[in-house]
Amino acid sequence: MSCFSPANAIQCAISRPSHRKLWIGFAGAISAGLFISACARLATIGTEDTVQLTHTATLIDEVKSFGKSLGIEPTPALRRTTQDSQALSMLWLWMQHVGTLAVNGPIDIRLAIGFSAEKERLKIEQVYRVDGYSVYYRQGNEFSDSRSVATIGFAAEPLLRRVMVVLHEDLHGDANFALPWEIEESLVTPLGYLAMVAFFQRKNDPAASSNAVTYLNEERQISRELNSLVAEAIPVLKSLPIDAAKEKILQRISHYPNYQRQFERQIRGQHPPTVLEAKLSHDLAYYRYFDRIALLAEQAPDLKTLIHDLKGLPPDATLQTTEKYLAELSFRYGAAAS
């Protein structure tokens, strides 16, 4: 049996049709050039790992049941563990035209590649330069698909993150939200954290509840800092030569310490000037409305009502219609409270 197997799935989203030929070729090159060790399938699960996976499976069932009480329809994602099924991991790549940010529309290119092994067994050595584009990538074992299973790595994650991830991936289910990617992520991300806080509050665990609120507030601060950084970066990219603009923006990140820590942790092993525009555009999709939706949660009668109301966004929502919809919700909640 060969110890090498190729990528088993590729998905590509292109915001501008004129680039389709370029990125189909790029996807083909990646699928042909990236290989992983199939020997991972021969690994056995130790007793301690078995216990941890069993506990995590019980937690996942509990979290999914709680999510349903908030109006979050559960999905098959993470229903199984590696005790039941082989893991599938994903490699995601985001590309944005050099010198631009995805502020008023979707990021230029999104690419997802599936592998038949955990991310820990797939080590990316290098992402080759793509002329004219900034490129950022990340790997993950958890995603909103029935093929996503709970791995030993996931079972070892902090409790708060495990709860948040299960809720986040369920929120991605089409029965909950079926929106354009950059809109859906901007809603699902804060709702996942808000639901995590509610989960621990429902369990009447003061220590865990306090930690969950701290976790949420840290993410809110990252959202505020990112939005401020992007507002600074836009005129810099327009007014300076590209290399000078990148250098100045990278220097400005140090003025936003919470976002800086996340930025540096998530791009570890990647070249900062290369990832800059793609990474900021990627993060904007996740954090654009984070603090704003957390504020809406404070205004709404309860979280279940907020989730229900946000599901009212039309499937073809744009950033502009989403802005208007959030403003209308804020007005409605404010008027009801007065």
pLDDT digits (tens, 9 = 90+) for 208-234: 999 999 999 999 999 999 999 999 999
What is the DSSP-derived secondary structure letter of residue 245? H
Domain count, the chain: 1
List the domain range (segments joined by +) for residue 55: 4-337
Give the per-residue pLDDT at 102.
Answer: 98
Give the per-residue pLDDT at 13.
Answer: 67
Give the per-residue pLDDT at 45.
Answer: 64
Range with the poorest average pLDDT among 31-35, 99-103, 145-149: 31-35
Give the per-residue pLDDT at 44.
Answer: 56
Please, what's the b/e burial string for 5-41 (b: 16 or more CB within 10 A of its CB; e: otherwise)?
bebeeeeeebbeeebeebbeebbeebeeeeebebebe
311 in Cβ contact with 176 (< 8 Å): yes
pLDDT digits (tens, 9 = 90+) for 77-88: 999 999 998 888
| Full-model pTM | 0.88
- Average pLDDT rounded to a whole number, residues 291-315: 98
Of residues 94, 167, 102, the one with CA closest to residue 318: 102
